[in-house]
């Protein structure tokens, strides 16, 4: 997994909270979609620092030679986890509760090249709470499928 810091342009869309951070954390992963020449690219972004809430966004895309590659079905699942002693997590959109500290939100599209999920994480329970945002994506077309994952954490 690679960590990257994205500067201000993207951050304005990703950051919510009392203190506005100047950077976001991201991670990406990819794999080939067999027999198509295309790749499934998955990305996870989240705010780098926050005082109350933290924005997140996950994405799955299919690309071929730098251009969009339409598939039969493409999905993305965002898993957001609050890390820390007795950590809890509220999420908007609420998603599926995996545990007190973890929520999962999924989106699936058909006959297109992209599936995204975004929202606001509201961690609680500890002064030392941090957030981890994972993106799991899959694409399906012409009888082949491929999956990729990425996780961003502070």
Helix H or strand E encompassing 21: none
> What is the fold of 4-153?
Immunoglobulin-like (2.60.40)
Residue 74 has pLDDT above 60, yes or no: yes
Burial 120-146 (b: 16+ CB within 10 A, else e): bbbbeeeeebbbbbbbbbbbbbeeeeb
pTM: 0.82
| Residue 5 pLDDT | 31
Give me the residue spans of the domains in the chain.
Answer: 4-153
What tens digit of pLDDT does each residue of 47-70 get? 887 778 899 999 999 999 999 999
| Residue 23 pLDDT | 67
| Residue 22 pLDDT | 44
Nearest to 150, CA basis, from 138, 134, 139, 137: 134
Whether 56 and 36 have beta carbons less than 8 Å apart is answered as no
What tens digit of pLDDT does each residue of 92-127 get? 999 999 999 999 999 999 999 999 999 999 998 776
The 8-class DSSP code of residue 143 comes to T
What does the alpha-carbon distance between residue 148 and residue 29 come to, in Å, rounded to a whole number? 6
CA 18 to each of CA 54, 74, 89, 125: distance values in angstroms, whole numbers, following the listed order: 10, 35, 18, 18
For residue 26, what pLDDT band results from cuts at 50, 70 and 90? Answer: very high
């Amino acid at each position: 997994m690679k960590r990257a810091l994205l500067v201000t342009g993207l951050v304005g869309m990703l950051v919510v909270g009392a203190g506005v951070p100047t950077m976001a954390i991201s991670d990406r992963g990819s794999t080939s979609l067999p027999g198509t020449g295309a790749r499934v690219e998955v990305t996870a972004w989240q705010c780098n620092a926050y005082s109350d809430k933290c924005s997140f966004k996950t994405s799955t895309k299919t690309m071929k030679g730098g251009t969009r590659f339409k598939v039969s079905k493409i999905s993305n699942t965002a898993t957001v986890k609050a890390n820390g002693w007795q950590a809890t997590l509220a999420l908007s959109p609420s998603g599926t509760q995996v545990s007190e500290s973890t929520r999962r939100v999924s989106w699936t599209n058909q006959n297109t090249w992209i599936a995204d999920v975004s929202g606001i994480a509201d961690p609680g329970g500890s002064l030392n709470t941090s957030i981890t945002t994972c993106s799991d994506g899959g694409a399906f077309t012409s009888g082949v499928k491929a999956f990729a994952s990425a996780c961003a954490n502070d």
